[in-house]
Structure 1
Amino acid sequence: MGRARPGSTCVRPTSSPRSRRGVRWWRTGIGAPIFGAGARPCESRKQGAARMGCCAPPGPARWWLQEPIGVEFGHGTESVAHAHRRAWCRGVDSPARIPVGPSRGPARLGHRRRAGAAAGLIGKREMFRLCHLSDPHLRAEAPETRACLDGLLADALARGADHVVLTGDLVERPGRAHLEALKSVLVARGLWSSRRVTVLPGNHDVAGHPSDPSTPASRRRALTRFLDFFAPVNGPLAPGRPVRKRFGPVELVGLVTASPHHRVEGLVTPADLEAIARRPRREICHRILAIHHHPWPAPAGYVPRYGRILPEGLREGQALIEAAAAGGFTLLLHGHIHAAGGPFDRRLRGIAVRCQGTAKGRRGPDGRLWHGYDLHRFEGARRMLSRRRLPHDALCARALEKAAAPVAGRRRPSARPASTC
């Protein structure tokens, strides 16, 4: 006991960790690979180094939980650190309650804002919230897909999301009707603005379902139609021309990885690599890179969906990571894999890579279908991540209640419509 998986962001407590007001504290190996696989709660760096037979890195002791991750389940279920580890991480408080900063002892709740002004770019009480949502696979003929996407956006906005980034596979098949259905959801939530939403294409937005006939010419037309349709919120986004948006000390850069030359695999152009490797003139505390495809092949034997191994990802993934590291990026967001976390949450060249592709839904251990999104919080030099999960039946129930509500001046039908969920 007491060992965490390599590269993990949560450490399995070996004993009762120190707690205050329901918050548990432990040291992790984020930012310090020496302790990534064997950190224990409330031990010093020298103690951890001696236990694992290595040298402690220089510098003062630090609480290494630089990006606390918490999974929040909706509708009365508990908040845990990871869904697949909730059996031994039960009781972790909200990530917003976990402070990060230099300390030689257990952190205190009253000190959680010390790092808020570390960069001098955001006031102590200002926070930027970014919602990352991917792979909803919306279909115009399936109202339940629209209801689930609308419910996720409503939940994110209720938690103060300032901007929403959608990283591909937004519709099941390319077509004007599906894009209009997606736009109607964004407009209804007040997100049809360049300051509120960023929309990136995925392979389904360009090539459609694997059973659909597709050629490079048809995929090129579908990609052009997608980029032109969302030009009011993205601007002149195109392969080789990334979208850049600045929110105080946070910069969001989005790339088009969906390619008409490949049906499933992603592709980045040399112009994209050159653009992201160029550092900005002004100092930026957090640079975020958003793409659709995962930047490295799936691990051998990993079967996240469809009952088969998915090796196809981004062809130039290693070059993209090197360029992003040269450009000073601190966070990379992607989808494509219908999973959240797992082996796709890594830290490469100082970049935290976070996978989120459960907007369409994923079966949990209890057999229920859950939909999710990520909510990143940026406050000064700190970054926190909350993973929100909502059950499918609850999202559909909200949609049915809204559809069954009486409309002024209109008679309700005598026969109740059949459920689409």
Structure 2
Amino acid sequence: MSETITLAHVSDVHLSPMPGVALRHLNVKRGLGYLNWRRHRRHAHHRAALDLVVADMLAHKPDHIAVTGDLINLGLPVEYEAATAWLNEVGTPQDVTVVPGNHDIYTSLRGDPGIARWAAYMRADAWGAKYVPPPPAQFPFVRRLGPVVLIGVNSAVETPPFIAAGEVGARQRAALAALLPQLAAEGLIRVVLIHHPPLPGQAPPRRALRDAEALAHILAAHGAELVLHGHNHCDSHMDFARLPETGGGNIPVIGVASGSIARVHKNEPLGRYNLLRIGRVDGRVHIECATRGLETGGRSVGQIERKLVT
């Protein structure tokens, strides 16, 4: 076997406990979100559960960790600061890659840097600097891990109350369409990181990616070896077909459940993460995925499933 890397994937950690909301930060969406947290979500997302999941993840010594958004809840300054501290505990910007989720770009706070606090975790590495889009664009960005290249895409946009939809946008899509074939030409295993499920029909309209059809066309035309996402708080695996005229084959699209659920909420499972081994065997891409998470009772972490992806 040629070089293989181990990539841990965790998402939707929704860091708790939630602070109170200062009056100067209150608006309709944030007020409704706070009520939802107090009535429902705070009973599901527990920091202790997340700490168990992260401790198990770090004990497996992955080569890199991908965090696909929704680190926080209401986009408050104190939440961004808490998430920065949490990221520093998980690993350095060289060891952890982040893309934002809709709760991270919740609703604007005038003059506050917001997710810019995490900029070191959301930028190209030295190798990927040649692919950096021109200002003011920040996404997509590229990081290389041996035979693997991570492509960070931002699907998070501000939305009205009761809407958790996302959008990649024309600028990112155009950059991605140019980037994917360039990286393929370098013989790299392309792993796309995005918060929202990237394909049409993977989420109800008010929570879906608005330009999923356009993004799916780019993926079908130019290819990727793996897409990782969060958002739905459930585990999923879809194989998306590439266009025959561009080489055919399937692109695995894998979603991971929330990393911090301590009590079953709706149909969401207990906190978990994925541990992916990615490399080549006899020239072919080889991906294995082990799902690890809280076991019944929520006091220990074990393997839930292990499967061969490609």
- Normalising by structure 1, report the TM-score: 0.53
Matched, 1:229 2:117: yes
Q: Which residue among 263, 280, 286 is the counterpart of 2:182?
A: 280
Contact 2:155/2:195 (<8 A) preserved: yes
- Secondary structure at the aligned position of 1:370 is classed as coil
Give the structure 2 partner of residue 181 of structure 1.
82
Give the structure 2 partner of residue 320 of structure 1.
215
The CA distance in 1 between the partners of 2:18 and 2:89, in whole Å, is: 18
Equivalent position amino acid for 1:327 in 2: H
The CA distance in 1 between the partners of 2:201 and 2:253, in whole Å, is: 14
Instruction: Report Cα offsets for 1:211-243 as digits up to 9, x if no partner.
Output: xxx5xxx27867x521x1011222279766312
1:15-414 to structure 2, matched below 5 A, reads 116-117=1-2, 122=3, 127-141=4-18, 145-189=46-90, 191-193=91-93, 195-207=94-106, 214=107, 218=108, 225-226=114-115, 228-235=116-123, 241-260=139-158, 263-278=163-178, 279-280=181-182, 282-298=185-201, 312-341=207-236, 345-349=238-242, 350-361=250-261, 370-380=270-280, 381-391=285-295, 393-394=298-299
Contact 2:199/2:216 (<8 A) preserved: no
Please state how far the C-alpha of 1:261 moved relative to its aligned partner: 5.0
Contact 1:297/1:312 (<8 A) preserved: no
The CA distance in 1 between the partners of 2:95 and 2:201, in whole Å, is: 32
Contact 1:345/1:352 (<8 A) preserved: yes
- Normalising by structure 2, report the TM-score: 0.70
With over 3 angstroms needed to count, the CA separation of the structure-2 counterparts of 1:221 and 1:360, relative to structure 1, is farther
The CA distance in 1 between the partners of 2:263 and 2:182, in whole Å, is: 42
After superposing the two structures, state which structure 1 stretch, 385-394 or 284-293, moved more. 385-394
- Secondary structure at the aligned position of 1:203 is classed as coil
Please state how far the C-alpha of 1:136 moved relative to its aligned partner: 1.0
Equivalent position amino acid for 2:193 in 1: A
Contact 2:200/2:213 (<8 A) preserved: no
Number of residue pairs aligned between Structure 1 and Structure 2 = 249
The CA distance in 1 between the partners of 2:221 and 2:269, in whole Å, is: 40
With over 3 angstroms needed to count, the CA separation of the structure-2 counterparts of 1:162 and 1:326, relative to structure 1, is same
- Secondary structure at the aligned position of 1:375 is classed as strand
- Structure ID, larger Rg: 1
The CA distance in 2 between the partners of 1:339 and 1:154, in whole Å, is: 21
The CA distance in 1 between the partners of 2:276 and 2:81, in whole Å, is: 28
User: Considering only aligned residues, what root-mean-square deviation do their CA atoms show, in Å?
Assistant: 3.1
The CA distance in 1 between the partners of 2:137 and 2:208, in whole Å, is: 17
Q: Which residues of structure 2 form unaligned runs of 5+?
A: 20-41, 125-131, 243-249, 302-310
Please state how far the C-alpha of 1:368 moved relative to its aligned partner: 10
Please state how far the C-alpha of 1:137 moved relative to its aligned partner: 0.8
With over 3 angstroms needed to count, the CA separation of the structure-2 counterparts of 1:368 and 1:269, relative to structure 1, is closer
More strand per residue: 2
Please state how far the C-alpha of 1:150 moved relative to its aligned partner: 2.6
Please state how far the C-alpha of 1:254 moved relative to its aligned partner: 0.8
Give the structure 2 partner of residue 18 of structure 1.
none
Please state how far the C-alpha of 1:331 moved relative to its aligned partner: 0.7
The CA distance in 2 between the partners of 1:219 and 1:251, in whole Å, is: 33
The CA distance in 2 between the partners of 1:234 and 1:368, in whole Å, is: 28
- Secondary structure at the aligned position of 1:284 is classed as coil
Instruction: Report Cα offsets for 1:74-107 as digits up to 9, x if no partner.
Output: xxxxxxxxxxxxxxxxxxxxxxxxxxxxxxxxxx
Contact 2:240/2:252 (<8 A) preserved: yes
The CA distance in 2 between the partners of 1:328 and 1:362, in whole Å, is: 37
- Secondary structure at the aligned position of 1:394 is classed as coil
Please state how far the C-alpha of 1:364 moved relative to its aligned partner: 6.3
The CA distance in 2 between the partners of 1:167 and 1:221, in whole Å, is: 25
